[in-house]
Structure 1
Amino acid sequence: MELRTSTADEKNSPAFYAALLRSCARSQDLSTGRRIHRRIIATEHRQNKFLQNLAMEMYGKCGSPDEARRVFDSIPSKNVFSWNIMMAAYAHSRRIEDARDVFDRMPLKDVVSWNTILAAYAAYGQLDEAKVLFDKMPQRTVVSWNTITAALVHYGRLIEAREMFDKIVDPNAVSWNIMLVAYAQSGDFDRAEEIFAKIPDKDVASWNTMIASYADAGNIEKARKIFQTMPVRDVVSWNAMITAFSRTGHLQEAKVAFDTMPKRNLVSWNAMITAYSEAGECDRAVAMLGLMDLEGMEPNDVTIIALLTVCGSTAKVTQGRIVHSSISSKNRLVSHVVVATALINMYGNCSSMEEAWIVFAGMDERNTVTWNALISGYVHNSNTREAFMLYAIMNLEGAAPNLITFVAALDACAGNLALAQGKIIHGLAAAAGYADDVVLATALVNLYAKCGCLGRAAEIFHAMPVKSEVTWNSIIAIHASFGLGSAALRFFQMMHLQGEEPSGVTLINTLTAFSHTGLARGGAAGYLVSILIDYRGLLELDHFVCVIDILGRAGWLQEAEDLIGLMPFEPDSLCWMTLLGACKLHGDRERGTVAADNVFRLDPGNPAPYVLLSSICSSKKLGRTSNGDDHSSTPSVKEVEVLL
């Protein structure tokens, strides 16, 4: 094929300038679009109405309706296209009143004019006005019907949308798909299947909608059946199946679909990487980045963020560095604020704050989310002094804090026991409108309690109109940590009376409170057993270790040993170490020897049991043993068996 270059005449032709303006409009390249427009004005084509209309369209799509208006005003004899383009430019920038003004002043309106203003009102939620305009339309096309139907669907008015759809004389594929998507996304699969069955000529979008809908509902078998019966599949179909398999835990089948598909696009790669990321398969996810390079596929921010997220959540800093190196070596996205923030988050989660700081310091542009990521990283890694200093620097640089900033700063103050600074931040957060936020209030409870102001913490807690599980856990844990076990247990009882369901963490905190309170007080042992029976479904090995500790502290060593043998988990070294510590406390040499032997077996490199056993054997003081204790309130073996 002979290659030809553009001649000077071709480069000065209306067609050449038209192609350039359309390209700038598609890419929203306003700067280049302005230069091209200035160049056109300097030529004999400056009054070319076709180019003037395209220049208006370019400015409108680039978000500069005022520049579009200047071009519009310069056209001496405007045609209907000029009016429609100007109206669309205002609508694109959400200037609905200006768009309506243009519409009202139009000397001649065509169906496109009506559809444009109708779409503008519909897009920004002014459905009542949109319906008034729709009723006034002298002529409607299927586009008009689709526009109003889609708007009703988007804003959840499905009954009205169906009524509108049923009035369409000759619905096209778009019409059918609007209702199909509406029912599928609302979870009404009976009506979705009804619509799907009635579509006379199903296009690939209809089939893909059903696959995606079944995938979202976790119905992999129906998604698979639709996929297998499709007459024609496109890359979207394959991508939908990859997502369907991954969301339902069929990771291997997702990979088979990925390997089998005849053509992949960036969405395919992102779907597979996201599948590995959500499954915690960090190594496999990062390996996909290398395969992308081999196939010449460039990642985007979605790819990189998915990779960095799984590296952070699995604390695999080496893999995170590989991703970082990859985007740095090819200047890929590393300067993007969102990607750089994801890097900071990843390094923070991997306890590598020095590298997080290097990324932060190298950023040309930062936003509030970036500052939050670094501050939270320092708090997460118990570097609370650095976190508080960074918060102060953030304020000096004029960055606007948000709820996450205030919560992270309060956590930093709590870690530093910096009550005075915490009170200042409390005031600033309240002034910013976060006074009633449950997350902020929980951080305040934590701050005041850790700084010893338990009364103020309780006051904030009781004033909260809504309390989250984290709030309850915090107030219980704090009182338990101060040795106020009775108060912690009262908060647990209050939680139960208010109908809040505890979590495994709540039970750990409550059991810790029992450790501090002891079982000697009236009714404590029975209350402990009732809690364990009521919430047996939440119990894990950690909870049994706590109960062993409670029994051991109370001197009920026989019952603690019985529990180790009866619990539905294989005892680990911590269970036996807990019992061994109790044996040391109460001078039970025989049982301590059994516990130590089990620790030696399970954790032979641990020197602690030697020290504890030696201490028991050498102690001259005869401690109280389980055999000589008052067991009047001890939970019996039968009670222990019941809770298991």
Structure 2
Amino acid sequence: MSSSIWAGVGPSSMAEVKQQHSVLLRRGLSSDNHAMSRIFTFCSLSNHGDINYALKLLATLPNPDTFLYNTLFKAFNTSPSLSLSLYSHMLQRSLLPNAFTFPPLLKSSSNLHQTKQLHAHIIKFGFASHIAALNNLVHVYFLFGSFHDARRVFHTISHPDVVSWTTLVSGYSLWGHVDEAFRLFQLMPCKNSVSWNAMISCFVKNNRFPEAFELFRRMREEGVEMDRFVAATMLSACTGVGALEQGKWIHGYVEKAGIVLDSKLGATIVDMYCKCGCLDEAFRVFCGLKVKGLSSWNCMIGGFAMHGKGKDAISLFSLMEEEAMVVPDGITFVNVLAACAHSGLVEEGRYYFRYMVDVRGVEPAMEHYGCMVDLLARAGRLEEAKKVVEEMPMSPDASVLGALLGACRIHGNFELGEEVGKRVIELDPGNSGRYVMLGNIYASSGKWEQVASVRKWMDERGVKKEPGFSIIEMEGVVNEFVAGGRDHPLAETIYDKVYEMLESIRVVGYVPDTDDVLHDLVEEERENPLFYHSEKLAIAYGLLKTKRGETLRVTKNLRVCKDCHQASKLISKVYGCDIIIRDRNRFHQFSNGECSCKDYW
């Protein structure tokens, strides 16, 4: 009887659940596990269900089966205490686990001890050869950093499948063991798109972008189709190095292959265009998204922010609140506040900080305070920025104090800069940029003994100045340049072009600005390194490989220095080209001798 009643479609809302439950009660079937299963599943696993209703149903069943408990384990796989409590309750009722019990239970494990207990039960109840349970066990052991246990379980699997191998690769990737992950990937007897994506993602997350692109090339050569997950990973790789042409190709492939453009993939494409310097294309894609999730809005607002389009970012945020069915989160407000900071919108920044707290109820985090300090400090309001630091409910981290330190240098407040610089170095002793900034503050105020002390601290702590590098994509190939490097096949020609380039802009007023070079070098030694900063090499290469008027796009790992900023403005004028440089902090678009940042960075 129960089977015929439920031959149709199950409930689609809690109102239907209650109606169907009442029918079962009237027909005397409310104790029938099979009859109740669809109601139970909907309450437990549907987005529109009610887990508490499912728990009440469980309490009314005289003889619930393992299937019903497994359904609840899936629902509670992020609530360890509830899952394990229910598991204990199931065993007390003399119900035995089956092959589907342990995977969701393992996902709910909150520590290594619980994982080992579940491992013991897997063996005790005869599932020591069940591959799904063992694959999940390998995964969870990796989550808790137990490499030995994970490998030991993997070796007990008599015939590891592609999931087993991929789990192993992903486990090493999780902890940054890239070379070991790649060694295992090479040993895999068979690979699918998931395993390829796991390894490519490992390279991307560890900033080993050339290897990611090479592996992607191999994947395509071996005939593996790109799915939306691989597409998202490779778009992130393109974002990392500013590889616009590769990113465009992947976007085109997604459209031609009919890959579903869900909210996550759509946001990744928008982010790629934003961070590769194509803001107009990013906005076009954003406007065309059928489903705009919160991440899509955040990426586009953040894109406007990093391009110095503060008012556009605020306008889009207002539109989001008016039209979208999403609620802004902490990331949204970081982007809005950063947009205000990069555009000098001090009063707007103050307003949105208050709005975030008072209207949206978002508790300010370190990043929000950092944006406010950056906003005020850039505008020269150093005492107000210092007050924000002093009144923060948590101790400021190195990034917050670093924003204040940089502004002290720009605005000539050397006394405050010395105080803040020492605190920053205490918090971030391995970061060479902190020492260089403090050393330059000392040098600017003529404190040469202190400059020597800063150098001594670096030597004693083994801190090396972070080498600058810049990347430019030409003809689908990513070219990387380091300051003073000569590894590129066209190095001699590039250096000749740099010399020609700098001589050309001297005619229109270029004078090397050596303020960002450590001040205890003699003038000639200070000037020469500026000639060979990585972005100048990348720009020279771009000029060699493009026609007049074409746009050059360069990505740099450090903040662009004042000298290169000034040189880039003049190069854009003399050579009649637009130059877009993405540095550590933001985008600079140089055109006809001007920069989009209005020299405010």
Give the equivalent residue in structure 2 for 1:366. 292
Q: Is the 8 A contact 2:21 2:39 kept in 1?
A: yes
- 8 Å CA contact retained: 1:357, 1:374: yes
In structure 1, which of residues 217, 234, 247 is the aligned counterpart of residue 161 of structure 2?
A: 234
Alpha-carbon separation, structure 1, partners of 2:165 and 2:364: 46
The residue number in structure 2 matching 1:40 is: none
Residues 281-336 of structure 1: CA deviation (Å, up to 9, x unaligned): 353254356447x45x4613x211101100110110000011000011122123x1
- Match of residue 624 from structure 1: none
Q: How does 1:152-231 map to 2 (within 5 A)?
A: 154-156=108-110, 171-174=124-127, 206=134, 209-210=137-138, 213=141, 231=158
Contact 1:72 1:82 in 2 (8 A): no
1:266 is matched by which residue type in structure 2? S
> Residues 453, 120 of structure 1: CA spacing in aligned structure 2 closer, same or farther, 3 A cutoff?
same
The structure-2 alpha-carbon separation of the partners of 1:488 and 1:95, relative to structure 1 and needing over 3 Å to count, comes to: same
2:330 aligned residue: 403
Q: Which amino acid aligns with 2:233?
A: A
Given that 1:343 and 1:356 are in contact with CA atoms closer than 8 Å, whether structure 2 keeps it comes out as yes
Q: Is the 8 A contact 1:111 1:139 kept in 2?
A: no
Quote the offset at 1:482 in angstroms. 0.7
Check the 8 A contact 1:87/1:116 in 2, yes or no: no
Q: Does residue 239 of structure 2 align to residue 312 of structure 1?
A: yes
- Structure with higher strand content: 2
Q: Residues 173 and 203 of structure 1 are in contact (CA less than 8 Å); yes or no, is this contact kept in structure 2?
A: no
| Range with greater deviation from structure 2 (150-159 or 362-371) | 150-159
Q: Does 1:471 align with 2:400?
A: yes
Higher helix share: 1
Amino acid at match of 2:50: R
What residue identity is the alignment partner of 2:307? Answer: N
Give the secondary structure class of the aligned counterpart of 1:351. Answer: coil
Structure 2 counterpart of 1:546 = none
Pair 1:443–1:243, CA change in 2 (3 A): same
Taking the aligned partners of 1:218 and 1:111, their CA distance within structure 2 comes to 34
State which of 492, 512, 520 in structure 1 corresponds to 2:421.
492
Match of 2:434 among 500, 506, 511: 506
Report whether the alignment pairs 1:257 with 2:183: no
The question of whether the paired residues in 1 share the 8 Å contact of 2:235 and 2:272 is answered with yes
Are the structure 2 counterparts of residues 101 and 207 from structure 1 closer, same or farther at C-alpha, using a change threshold of 3 Å?
Answer: closer
Q: Of residues 81, 87, 94 in structure 2, which corresponds to 1:140?
A: 94
Alignment correspondent of 1:444: 372
Aligned pair in 2 of structure 1 residues 536, 481: CA closer, same or farther (>3 Å)?
A: farther
C-alpha contact 1:413 1:419 (8 A) present in aligned 2? yes
Rate the CA distance shift 1:360–1:596 in 2: closer, same or farther, 3 A: closer
Aligned residue runs from structure 1 range 269-280, under 5 A: 269-278=196-205, 279-280=208-209
The answer to which structure, 1 or 2, has the higher relative contact order (CA under 8 A, 6+ apart) is: 2
Residue 242 of structure 1 deviates from its aligned partner by 4.7
Query: Residue 371 of structure 1: CA displacement?
Result: 1.5
Measured after TM superposition, the shift of residue 442 of structure 1 is 0.5
Aligned AA for 1:452? G
Paired letter, 2:5: Q
Q: Deviations over 1:529-573 (max 9, x none)?
A: 44334444243457xxxxxxxxxxxxxxxxxxxxx9xxxxxxx99
SS in 2 for 1:142: coil
Out of 330, 339, 364, the residue aligned to residue 257 of structure 2 is 330
- Measured after TM superposition, the shift of residue 412 of structure 1 is 1.8
1:557 alignment partner in structure 2: none
Q: Which of 23, 26, 41 is the matching residue for 1:74?
A: 23
Compute the displacement of 1:409 (Å): 1.6
Map Cα deviations across residues 190-209 of structure 1 (whole Å, 9 max, x no partner): xxxxxxxxxxx575864885
Q: 1:133, CA displacement in angstroms? A: 8.9
Residue 141 of structure 1: how far off its partner (Å): 3.0
Kept after mapping to 2: 8 A contact 1:379/1:387: yes
Distance change in 2, residues 1:357/1:233 (3 Å): same
Check whether the contact 2:139–2:167 (CA below 8 A) recurs between aligned residues: yes
5+ residue gaps, structure 1, are 1-47, 177-200, 543-563, 565-571, 584-590, 609-644
Provide the secondary structure at the position in 2 that maps to 1:143: coil
1:103 and 2:32 are equivalent in the alignment: no
The residue aligned with 1:287 is: 217
CA distance in 1, matches of 2:432, 2:112: 41
Query: With structure 2 as the length reference, what TM-score do the two structures score?
Result: 0.66
Q: Larger Rg: 1 or 2?
A: 1
Identity percentage of aligned residues:
15
| Amino acid in the other structure paired with 1:372 | N
Is 1:425 aligned with 2:374? no
Q: What are the superposed Cα offsets for residues 381-401 of structure 1, whole Å, 9 maximum, x if unpaired?
A: 333343333334334435532
Secondary structure at the aligned position of 2:94 is classed as: coil
Q: Distance in 1 between matches of 2:363 and 2:114?
A: 40
Match for residue 459 of structure 1 among 378, 387, 404: 387
**Counterpart code for 2:446:** G
How many residues are treated as equivalent by the alignment?
A: 482
Unaligned runs of 5+ in 2: 469-483, 485-494, 500-505, 516-521, 542-562, 564-601
Letter in 1 for 2:23: S
Note closer, same or farther for the CA distance 1:532–1:517 as it changes in structure 2 (3 Å cut): farther
Residue 361 of structure 1 aligns to which amino acid in structure 2? C
1:478 is paired with a residue whose SS is helix
Partners of 1:241 and 1:117 lie apart in 2 by 27
How big is the shift at 1:102?
2.6
Change (3 A) 1:449 1:287: same
Q: Secondary structure at the residue paired with 2:6?
A: helix
Residue pair 2:442, 2:451 contacting (<8 A) in 1 also: no
CA contact (8 A) 1:311 1:317 kept: yes
The one-letter code sitting in structure 2 at the alignment partner of 1:462 is E
Deviations along 1:359-413, one digit per CA (max 9) or x if unpaired, are 0111122132212111211222333343333334334435532222222222222
Question: AA paired with 1:457?
Answer: A
Q: Name 2:283's counterpart in structure 1.
A: 357
Alpha-carbon deviation of 1:150?
7.4
Aligned partners of 1:148, 1:213: CA distance in 2, in Å?
Answer: 14
- Residues 362/211 of structure 1: CA separation in 2 closer, same or farther (3 Å cut): closer
Paired residue type of 1:332: I
Q: 2:339 aligns with which of 405, 412, 423?
A: 412
> Which residue identity is paired with 1:257?
L
Q: CA deviation at 1:516?
A: 2.5
Q: Secondary structure of 2:209's match?
A: coil
1:386 matched to which residue of 2? 312
- Aligned partners of 2:525 and 2:103: how far apart in 1? 75
Q: Which moved more, 1:446-455 or 1:210-219?
A: 210-219
